[in-house]
Amino acid sequence: MDKIHSRRQVAAIKHSLFDQGYLDEQFIQLEELQDDANPNFVEEIVTLYYRDSSRLISNLDHTLERNPLDFNKLDTIMHQFKGSSSSIGAKKVKAECTLFREYCRTRNGEGCRRSFQQMKKEYATLRKKLETYFQLARQAGPQETAFRPK
């Protein structure tokens, strides 16, 4: 009964992540790639994404501290970050990346900073939500583990 409940919970969280626009269909793509060879593929990918992208975030942080702003550099890093975020389907983060790059193009330093803060927020929120999601999913266990003795 617990299992069924937690599975429902997992499904509900996932659903809300899509409904609230945190994730896009890329996430489903990742889930489809998950198989016996990589049973935790999605989680591995998300972990990898957060590990790698934190480097880019701090890089952006540093670059934004400079004066005057190097918009080209900011744009390049953000482009990279956006590409990376597209890998897990981080929809809101991606949207902020696009906005940020738009500010870069118009040389709007203030806009860039604001957008960057917003992006970091979305980035952190998604991380938390995904962590919760994976934790619950692990507890609920994959459906394929039904054979496991209770």
Please name which of 97, 92, 91, 95 lies closest in space to residue 76, comparing C-alpha atoms.
97
> What is the smallest separation between the CB atom of 120 and other proteins, expressed in angstroms?
18
User: Does 89 participate in binding other proteins (rule CB under 8 A)?
Assistant: yes
Range in contact with other proteins (rule: CB under 8 A) among 8-16, 23-31, 66-74, 136-144 = 23-31
Please name which of 123, 81, 86 lies closest in space to residue 104, comparing C-alpha atoms.
81
Q: Look up residue 62 and give its two tokens.
A: 């540093």
Q: How far is CA 58 from CA 19, 53, 62, 87, 93, in A?
A: 30, 9, 6, 19, 16
User: Does 16 participate in binding other proteins (rule CB under 8 A)?
Assistant: no
Instruction: Return phi, psi of residue 60, to 5°.
Output: -65, -40
Within positions 31 to 50, which residues make up the interface with other proteins, using CB under 8 A? 32-33, 35, 38, 41, 44-45, 48-49
User: Does 134 participate in binding other proteins (rule CB under 8 A)?
Assistant: no
The 8-class DSSP code of residue 106 comes to T
Among 17, 30, 130, 140, interactor with other proteins by CB under 8 A: 30
User: Does 9 participate in binding other proteins (rule CB under 8 A)?
Assistant: no
Length of the chain: 150
User: Does 106 participate in binding other proteins (rule CB under 8 A)?
Assistant: no
Residues near other proteins (CB under 8 A) are 26, 29-30, 32-33, 35, 38, 41, 44-45, 48-49, 52-53, 76, 79-80, 82-84, 86-89
